[in-house]
Structure 1
Amino acid sequence: MTELRAIAPAFVVPGPSGVAVRDRLKHLTPEDDEVLRLVGAHLGALASADLKTRCADGLGHCAATWAARKRELTEQSSARWAGAITRASHDQWALARRCQADHIRGLAAAIATITRRLSLPVGKKGTGKEPGGYRSRLEWFAKSRRLGVLRDRLKRLRADHRAGRVRVVRGGKRLARARHHLDATELTQDGWRQRWEAARWFLAADGESGKRYGNETIRITPDGQVSIKLPVPLAHLANAPHGRYVLACRVAFAHRGTEWADRIEANRAVAYRIHLEAARGRWYITASWQRPAAPTAPMAAALAAGVIGVDTNADHLAAWRLDVHGNPIGNPRRFSYDLSGNAEHRDAQVRHALTRLLHWARTCGVKAIAIEDLDFQAEKSREKHGRRKRFRKLISGMPTSKLRARLTSMADATGIAIIAADPAYTSKWGAQHWQKPLTTKTRTTTRHDAAAVAIGRRAQGHPIRRRTAPPPAHQSDEQGHRTIQAGTQVRGREGPRPRIPGPRTRSVPPGRGANAGDQNAQHRSEHSAEHAQLMLSP
């Protein structure tokens, strides 16, 4: 019997600790566009040089080197611009360091998998948890060569990690590689150059509490006027006192505009970032600020009105509403999305699907949505699934982390709690116990719909297995009433009930149940042993 892994308890996902809103800078004059480009290019060059210096410092970075870098940048910009640039360099180096550590762990896991599979006989079948040996001697030989390549790669990465060396591309490695594949990306050389330069510009300022309107570098007044503190080499372009340049446009944040206005009126910190979307030639400004994390709602309060279980799939969200007792209500819902195309299109598709899900939850009066606590980092390995490229592509396309972060952020504004449940066996047990009972003549229940029911019941603390209904002819006599629910301490309660041998109804004569599973009983040309004894008896 296969041992089941431990099921982690469900928990309420904490809300977001930060807020970001964006608006377009409309009706900019040619002078405004030129000033923004000059400032972004100048500060971008300083940011690139500072990031190079920070990466060269590696693990030898200290407060003294940080202060020296900041003093050097201050002479070419300002103290506040220098602080923003150095902090951005630190954050980018730290992110590259974390990604490097994740890559090392992934390579170590791949090497362990290949080593184990190479030690097994060729053609040996695997189990549900571990893959078996390789299918042929040719595949075994190819994997042995790949093992050597991965070991060399891991050795170099570990040496870089010990030395504190990271490799970072300002503007993005994907965009840098697109320069060599312009035909595949449908870009011209001039179009690629515009995107590359815009991605490397730097126009971001950190907020400061106690300063006027929460930011001295990029300032937005309550009436929407935007002004920028120009760097020292570009101070001659100022059109306002104290070396500032005021843009001709006005900004009005439609989303969370009242919250933003309250912060700047109280002179609380607000960070701003200005960037150009080169593909459409549009300038945008993003305002962001931190806020204290709101206390999570107690589990009992969140589940007081029931829950909506959601099963995440590669192309849709399968959802079903459950009452407080874990019983499905109404019909399942399906929220589709298309994850093809660029990142902006995929993100818009996810947001649209989540918006429809939250609107449905509000109309139902439900205060909690249960999702799976998914993490496919270990499942995406080509060494684990081998030739199953379609399956690897399927799970790689599921937006697990982005969907959960986006859903948590969007649900926080509606007062709906997000509950994360352990994903173990939800699809398997949901299909086993709920798919057939919930299928009717007018409703076809899919495996994903049944998994949504299983996820919702696990979030509520109910076992996934349904109550076994009694036989219609014997609901209170002979076999007894069999609607007893297994307790939480019973081992294997999530599994199916064992079949009880013997006659099931009174229509079966005595003695006919002993050979019920014998296929000889169905042979019409001869009699089984039990039938022969009955015919010879007087």
Structure 2
Amino acid sequence: MGAKADKRAGLARGYASRGVWHAKSRRLQTLKARLAVVEADRAAGRVRVVRGGKRLANARHHLEAAGLDEQAWRERWRAERMFLAADGESGKRFGNETIRVTDTGQLSLKLPAPLARLANAPHGRYLLDATVRFQYRGAEWLDQVTVNRAVAYRIHHDTRRDRWYLTASWQRAAAPTLPLEAALARGVVGVDMNDDHLAAWQLDVHGNPISEPQRFLYDLTRSTQHRDAQIRHALTRLLHYTRCCGASAIAIEDLDFTDGTSREKHGSTKRFRRLISRFPTAKLKARLVSMAAQQDIVIVAVDPAYTSRWGAQHWQQPLTTTTRRISRHDAASIAIGRRALGHPIRRRTTPPPSHQSDGAGHRTVQARPEIRRREETRPRIPGPRTGCAPPGRGAKAGDQGAQHRSGHPAEHRSWQQDSLPLSLQERCLTP
């Protein structure tokens, strides 16, 4: 067991012992040296690329550890180094002249001049017998080739499955910008991002929560491919829910955990640092923006300050009923949505009892968005709060000595409020 960190010993917060701190410091210096070498190569224009992969090249010297023999390794090495790729060009037929895939899945290659004698189709093209079919985003690819937009293709061989694959890629058109007022005209869906689910709640244009809170679960504890699939499915369900609600905007927090995963900031709480490190904030936002653009849904990023705290303080208890239990994350989604709509998050406080005010009126209603300074109690206006006398004209207004009935100075002379402090007023008015 290492000793706890001690400021007097010169150790940084979060390191259990001097040995741990020394090992981390050496690792940091090693990474800085490697970074300096890479930056020098980049400045000199030197590119270090291993065609086929550096990991596979190093596996040649450790075949037993990689579970391969020389023949299997050589087949994989040749397959990684042998591929055919061609960039697309807009305006050409089906978006690519070299590797052409028609809308029916027919694949053909444009042969170079020395190999034109091998063509089996007109115009020096070689037609393959295999039919191409895209299981993922096939509709988007079909939209691209139908209007002759640029599509890049890459043909490669997978030795493990002994199959040939065709990979298509294209650039999405820029999504049309929509004014914020028009996007929020039908309300918004506030979303609170968490490590295992997305908490969403629909709000109308006045900031009032309607319908029921929704949760879209995902699991981030397994492999990278599994996490990506989980995030994609959760976002798909969120976008489908938004379209069913009739809203055209989703409000999320503008979170950034880039500098929040170090020991110096969160100490030795490994569980919390691991939670922040695995939380895909940037990937989730980028994927949500790209997926929402395809369905004409606007993403509004708001300031995340105090959304969870104020949401739990002002919205969790009023919305909780005997048949519906509201969590802290559900209340935070309301706070996020109200901030996107321009409404204050905090509710107005309850008025004082009747013996301290004119009457216990209902003050918890929401103020209109054009009214400012309504997140706190109303400012104190000097003078009586009734309409029978103007401010500052009461016989006993503003005087702390009003409880002494006999011989009260206000009963013998007129009183008018001035700019002096209250203590000086009492001193001046006392006979």
TM-score where L is the length of structure 1: 0.57
Does the Cα contact within 8 Å between 1:263 and 1:269 map onto a contact in 2? no
Alignment of 1:403 onto 2:287: no
* Distance (whole Å) between structure 2 residues aligned to residue 231 and residue 313 of structure 1: 54
Alignment of 1:224 onto 2:102: no
- 2:129 corresponds in structure 1 to 248
Alignment of 1:349 onto 2:230: yes
Deviation at 1:297, TM superposition (A): 0.8
- 1:366 corresponds in structure 2 to 247
Alignment-mate amino acid for residue 147 of structure 1: S
Alignment of 1:455 onto 2:336: yes
Q: 1:399 to 1:142 in 2, by over 3 A?
A: closer
- Summarize deviations over 1:306-326 as a string: whole Å, max 9, x none: 111111122211111111111
Alignment of 1:189 onto 2:68: yes
Q: Secondary structure at 1:375's aligned position in 2?
A: coil
Does the Cα contact within 8 Å between 1:122 and 1:133 map onto a contact in 2? no
- 2:391 corresponds in structure 1 to none
**Which among 276, 290, 308 is matched to residue 189 of structure 2?**
308
Q: 1:152 to 1:279 in 2, by over 3 A?
A: closer
Does the Cα contact within 8 Å between 1:475 and 1:481 map onto a contact in 2? no
Does the Cα contact within 8 Å between 1:370 and 1:421 map onto a contact in 2? yes
- Summarize deviations over 1:198-238 as a string: whole Å, max 9, x none: 56553321112343433222112343210124578987875
Does the Cα contact within 8 Å between 1:160 and 1:166 map onto a contact in 2? no
Does the Cα contact within 8 Å between 2:353 and 2:360 map onto a contact in 1? no
Q: 1:225 to 1:373 in 2, by over 3 A?
A: same
Alignment-mate amino acid for residue 24 of structure 2: R
* Distance (whole Å) between structure 1 residues aligned to residue 296 and residue 332 of structure 2: 25
**Which among 267, 271, 278 is matched to residue 386 of structure 1?**
267
Alignment-mate amino acid for residue 466 of structure 1: R
Alignment of 1:338 onto 2:238: no
Does the Cα contact within 8 Å between 1:431 and 1:447 map onto a contact in 2? yes
Greater Cα radius of gyration, structure 1 or 2: 2
* Distance (whole Å) between structure 2 residues aligned to residue 297 and residue 398 of structure 1: 29
Alignment of 1:272 onto 2:153: yes
Q: 1:468 to 1:301 in 2, by over 3 A?
A: same
Does the Cα contact within 8 Å between 1:438 and 1:445 map onto a contact in 2? yes
* Distance (whole Å) between structure 2 residues aligned to residue 194 and residue 464 of structure 1: 63
Q: Secondary structure at 2:202's aligned position in 1?
A: strand
Deviation at 1:366, TM superposition (A): 0.9
**Which among 10, 13, 17 is matched to residue 134 of structure 1?**
13
* Distance (whole Å) between structure 2 residues aligned to residue 141 and residue 280 of structure 1: 48
Structure 1 portions without partners, runs of 5+: 1-117, 124-131, 501-538
Does the Cα contact within 8 Å between 1:207 and 1:272 map onto a contact in 2? yes
Q: Secondary structure at 1:437's aligned position in 2?
A: helix
Q: Secondary structure at 1:310's aligned position in 2?
A: strand
* Distance (whole Å) between structure 1 residues aligned to residue 61 and residue 214 of structure 2: 44
- Summarize deviations over 1:377-428 as a string: whole Å, max 9, x none: 2122344323222112212222222222222222223222121222233223
**Which among 413, 426, 433 is matched to residue 294 of structure 2?**
413
* Distance (whole Å) between structure 1 residues aligned to residue 133 and residue 175 of structure 2: 26
Does the Cα contact within 8 Å between 2:99 and 2:108 map onto a contact in 1? yes
Alignment-mate amino acid for residue 451 of structure 1: A
Alignment of 1:375 onto 2:256: yes
Does the Cα contact within 8 Å between 1:308 and 1:322 map onto a contact in 2? yes
Q: Secondary structure at 1:408's aligned position in 2?
A: helix
Q: 1:474 to 1:173 in 2, by over 3 A?
A: farther
Alignment of 1:262 onto 2:141: no
How many residue pairs are counted as aligned between the two chains? 366
* Distance (whole Å) between structure 2 residues aligned to residue 149 and residue 472 of structure 1: 64
**Which among 326, 340, 358 is matched to residue 477 of structure 1?**
358
Alignment-mate amino acid for residue 290 of structure 2: S
Deviation at 1:272, TM superposition (A): 1.9
Most deviating of 442-451 and 157-166:
157-166
* Distance (whole Å) between structure 2 residues aligned to residue 261 and residue 255 of structure 1: 10
Deviation at 1:298, TM superposition (A): 0.7
Alignment of 1:161 onto 2:39: yes
Q: RMSD in angstroms over aligned alpha carbons? A: 4.3
Q: 1:425 to 1:180 in 2, by over 3 A?
A: farther
The equivalences for 1:80-159 within 5 A come to 120-121=7-8, 134=13, 139-140=17-18, 142-144=20-22, 146-159=24-37
Does the Cα contact within 8 Å between 1:122 and 1:135 map onto a contact in 2? no
Q: 1:343 to 1:144 in 2, by over 3 A?
A: closer
Q: 1:142 to 1:326 in 2, by over 3 A?
A: same
- 1:98 corresponds in structure 2 to none
Q: Secondary structure at 1:357's aligned position in 2?
A: helix
Q: 1:368 to 1:476 in 2, by over 3 A?
A: farther
- 1:328 corresponds in structure 2 to 209
Q: Secondary structure at 1:329's aligned position in 2?
A: strand
* Distance (whole Å) between structure 2 residues aligned to residue 357 and residue 398 of structure 1: 18
Q: 1:359 to 1:152 in 2, by over 3 A?
A: closer
* Distance (whole Å) between structure 1 residues aligned to residue 351 and residue 292 of structure 2: 42
User: Larger RCO: Structure 1 or Structure 2 (Cα < 8 Å, ≥ 6 residues apart)?
Assistant: 1
Q: 1:188 to 1:340 in 2, by over 3 A?
A: farther
Q: Secondary structure at 2:301's aligned position in 1?
A: strand
